[in-house]
Structure 1
Amino acid sequence: MESKVDKPHVIVLPYPIQGHINPMIQFSKRLASKGLKATLAITVFISNTMKPESSGSVQIDTISDGYDAGGLAASGGIQYYLPRLEAIGSKTLGELIIKHKKTSHPIDCIIYDAAMPWALDVAKQFGLQGAAFFTQMCAVNYIYYNVHHKLLNLPICSTPISIPGLPLLQPRDLPSFICSSEGSYIAYLGRVLNQFKNIDKADFILVNTFYKLENEAVDSMSKVYPLLTIGPTVPSVYLDKRVENDKAYGLDLIDFNSSTSSDWLSTKYPGSVIYVSFGSVTSLSSKQMEEIARGLNNSNFYFLWVVRASEEAKLPKGFKEESGEKGLIVNWSPQLDVLSNEAVGCFFSHCGWNSTTEALSLGVPMVAMPQWTDQTTVGKYIEDVWKVGVRVKIDDDSGIVNREEIESCIRQVMEGERGKEIKENAKKWRELALEAVGEGGTSDRNIDEFMSKLRRTT
């Protein structure tokens, strides 16, 4: 029998939404490919909805969030969901640890989403190692750290905002939870600030980024916490190809027909298509949907637009028919396959961190239209730091992005000297992403360091 020292067993516990599950399952695969035993712990609701099967590399197990029949949607709001997730999640995580204790591979370490700091308390209760995993970019984590420790006082009274290791920021560049008094935003702000309440007890702190992407932010935050950058967490086939059969994340909360998008793209010439997607959560107004539709049409480029079924009624009447062969509208798409298709010349995105790291890893230029949470800060970096895209400007009177602005931003990325510079920068960041996860790269070395320390302490 293989000994525990030879093959430590980690439970990987993501916050139960798609954007947090994806990077953590990818990290699980990377660990498994290097010789660790990894078990991904998802909620009963997600398990029942998706019916995932354990693979040869990553096993699947469950905890409960207290809403087994409906998940977050059944809770009545984030302010009700979080306390129950902590109470029931802590109890069932403990039961999971006990269950595995009776097997030949007991748990050695809990790798938990930093958004759920109570998991670290459970790990320590059972005498286990605990590793906090920050799914968002380091700059955003460091902003929250500064707010949590009152180094950045709220409300913001003067601008620009200066934080060591970050560019000068305006209020529109800060995570949206910081500048809003909306009730649900206050609950979310409490969640992200709570990431730091017991982190000094964590044995490891892992960040879903790579060093050269945010070297100044990483250096600044490393002065207060010993960070290990382990990203980008993108399926290996799109990067270094060192993880066998790693072609997709493997857990999708939405079913889709992958051939529809790829078949349509196969008829388009290289760099001619705008890919438009605002993720799995964002909900736009009907007026904003109309402005996007008109801006896309007016640009005269082909476009592939992902519009969730729940959002379709907001499209202008007759728009699908009006677009003809110029545009394809689908309810969902295999995003990595689309971004890696040579027909795609630009990604019109909400700036979710997963989507952004996918675009950076595949060298795709961007039009940034951030909506909330960390996306506003990511949008700032896309335009001003990494210079791989253009960020749209919101009309002060209407509060939306108008069609002329959308068309202009698309043209800036797709055409002319600025477009050429943006494309060259996008290629550079792809090369640096490949370097980070490649053998001996910064992220690869950090993962090896994590595993080495874990083996020595178990």
Structure 2
Amino acid sequence: MEKQKGHVLVVSYPAQGHINPLLQFAKCLASKGLKASFATTRYTVNSINAHGIDVLPISDGFDEGGFKQALSLEAYLESFRIIGSKTLTELIHSLEASTLPINCLVCDSLLPWGLEVATSLGILSVVFLTNSVSVCLIYSQIDLGLLPLSVKPENVPVLLPGLPPLGHGDMPSFMEPPNIYLTAIMEMFASLDQNDFVLANTFQKLEMRSRQTQNMEAAYVNPGAASAQNGSTVCPKLVVYVSFGSMARISANQVEQIAYGLIDTKLSFLWVVREHENKTIPSEFLNRLDSRVGLLVLWCNQLDVLANRAVGCFLTHCGWNSTLEALSLGVPVVAVPQWNDQPMNAKFIEEVWKVGVRGKKDGGGIVRKEEVKR
């Protein structure tokens, strides 16, 4: 066997929507015979199971509680910048005497300080874009001064090369300053060309028009959904799968409308309800719930569920990972976007790729049960 010559360290922001694609990328590198390791915060690292790669801890300064331990998001990100860059540097130094020292650092696009670490150590720096290329095109236009930071309702539609006409409700929610995430994103774009490589978590054919108008060169690296199983003992296409990811905060009113909308469809459904959402589920809904028709779970393997022939529809927040998985497995989407890049992903699902419909919101920003049923 040819001797391994490289050791790549992949570093992720400690949120599930970031960990999943970056961890999958590290596994793909390892499957090609390259030494790959994965790093994230100490609080998060113990919950990660990864075969074939080393999972290593760095510190965000909140080793006992992560986000919840910080007084604010601003305090968390600043601590992660200072302590994270220090402990990441120490980690890379600790492996210098090994047979395979780290010579390439791949960092989550939400960790712009990774470039400084790589540069100071004289190793390759790679940024991994966790949003779609289309969303990145928006941020790129802001960085170039071609699009204002905050788009006012009277200045729509926004017309940009490679994108469909965008309404105010289609734009990434981070564009409403002040936003601490936007600060990190724009810092990353300001130094993007200083990285040795840029990787985009997408498919070339999916976003060809957006890529052709980008002012950056990026390689497409989405590994797809090849690991999912495809079997079922249930009649095909009769189950609605419902999940809103790990970070989206769904209001109690919206949860209630989804619950009664699902009941009214008279279709079978599987709904992932996170622990903090349990108390928002209406008791009347639970009393009406027949476990032979509807099932509420705290967690499931989303790829396996979407690959199951019984699933005919995915009611989703349209996080980018969920969007890619639905597209990869050919599952129609009912889009109920909440924040961040999700409104723009929903726009593409309905109007560009035409693989689903977007739930229409009422004046209070809620998708009503009648709309869910429709």
Under TM normalisation by the shorter chain, which class is it?
Answer: over 0.9
Distance in 2, Cα, partners of 1:105 & 1:155: 46
Q: Which residue of 1 aligns with 2:260?
A: 294
Contact 1:346 1:367 in 2 (8 A): yes
Q: How do 1:39-188 and structure 2 match up within 5 A?
A: 39-48=37-46, 50=47, 52=48, 55=51, 57-157=52-152, 158-178=155-175, 180-181=176-177, 186-188=179-181
Distance in 1, Cα, partners of 2:225 & 2:6: 23
Contact 2:360 2:371 in 1 (8 A): yes
Q: Which residue of 2 aligns with 1:352?
A: 319
Q: Which residue of 2 aligns with 1:367?
A: 334
Distance in 2, Cα, partners of 1:69 & 1:152: 41
The structure with more helix, counted as a fraction of residues: 1
Q: How do 1:36-435 and structure 2 match up within 5 A?
A: 36-48=34-46, 50=47, 52=48, 55=51, 57-157=52-152, 158-178=155-175, 180-181=176-177, 186-221=179-214, 224-231=215-222, 233-238=223-228, 268-324=234-290, 325-396=292-363, 398-408=364-374
Task: Say which SS state the counterpart of residue 328 (structure 2) adopts.
Answer: helix
State how many pairs are aligned.
Answer: 371
Note the C-alpha offset of 1:194. 1.6
Note the C-alpha offset of 1:342. 0.7
The residue type equivalent to 1:366 in the other structure is V
Distance in 1, Cα, partners of 2:359 & 2:162: 25
Note the C-alpha offset of 1:317. 1.2
> Per-residue CA shift, 1:355-388, capped at 9, x if unaligned?
1111111110000000000101100000001100
TM-score using structure 1 length? 0.78
> Per-residue CA shift, 1:325-344, capped at 9, x if unaligned?
22111111111111111111
Distance in 1, Cα, partners of 2:285 & 2:119: 56
For residue 27 of structure 1, the aligned residue among 25, 28, 31 is 25
Q: Which residue of 2 aligns with 1:15?
A: 13
Contact 2:199 2:218 in 1 (8 A): yes
Task: Say which SS state the counterpart of residue 205 (structure 2) adopts.
Answer: helix
Identity, % of aligned positions: 45
Task: Say which SS state the counterpart of residue 213 (structure 1) adopts.
Answer: coil
The residue type equivalent to 1:373 in the other structure is N
Note the C-alpha offset of 1:237. 2.2
Task: Say which SS state the counterpart of residue 213 (structure 2) adopts.
Answer: helix
Task: Say which SS state the counterpart of residue 318 (structure 1) adopts.
Answer: helix
Note the C-alpha offset of 1:2. 7.1
The residue type equivalent to 1:202 in the other structure is N
Distance in 2, Cα, partners of 1:111 & 1:378: 25
Note the C-alpha offset of 1:155. 2.8
Note the C-alpha offset of 1:199. 1.5
Contact 1:353 1:378 in 2 (8 A): yes
Task: Say which SS state the counterpart of residue 328 (structure 1) adopts.
Answer: strand
The residue type equivalent to 2:142 in the other structure is V
Distance in 2, Cα, partners of 1:310 & 1:374: 23
* Worse-matched range after superposition: 196-205 or 340-349: 196-205
What are structure 1's unaligned runs of at least 5 residues?
A: 239-246, 248-261, 409-458
Q: Which residue of 2 aligns with 1:453?
A: none
> Per-residue CA shift, 1:192-234, capped at 9, x if unaligned?
212212221100000000110000111111xx21111111x34
The residue type equivalent to 1:189 in the other structure is L
The residue type equivalent to 1:313 in the other structure is K
Note the C-alpha offset of 1:266. 5.4
Contact 2:225 2:325 in 1 (8 A): no
Distance in 2, Cα, partners of 1:290 & 1:121: 46
Contact 1:26 1:235 in 2 (8 A): no
Note the C-alpha offset of 1:139. 0.6
Distance in 2, Cα, partners of 1:306 & 1:17: 17
**Residues 53 and 369 of structure 1: CA distance in aligned 2, closer, same or farther (over 3 Å):** closer
The residue type equivalent to 2:42 in the other structure is V
Distance in 1, Cα, partners of 2:357 & 2:171: 17
Note the C-alpha offset of 1:350. 0.3
Note the C-alpha offset of 1:149. 2.3
Task: Say which SS state the counterpart of residue 60 (structure 2) adopts.
Answer: coil
